[in-house]
Amino acid sequence: MGAEKQWEQDEQADQESSNLTGVAAVSAEDASGQVFADRTEFVLSPEDWEAWEALHDRPARDIPELRELMAKPSPFFVD
pLDDT number for residue 46: 95
- Give the rounded percent of residues in the chain with a pLDDT score beyond 70: 54
- Per-residue pLDDT at 55 exceeds 90: yes
Alpha-carbon span 32 to 78, nearest angstrom? 35
Mean of pLDDT values over 58-74: 93
| C-alpha gyration radius of the chain | 20
**2 in a domain, yes or no?**
no
How many angstroms separate the Cα of 11 from the Cα of each of 14, 27, 30?
5, 14, 18
pLDDT number for residue 25: 64
Into how many domains does the chain fold?
A: 1
**45 in a domain, yes or no?**
yes
Q: Residue 36: give the domain boundaries.
A: 7-71
**29 in a domain, yes or no?**
yes
**51 in a domain, yes or no?**
yes
**43 in a domain, yes or no?**
yes
Enter the pTM of the model.
Answer: 0.37
**65 in a domain, yes or no?**
yes
Mean of pLDDT values over 6-21: 61
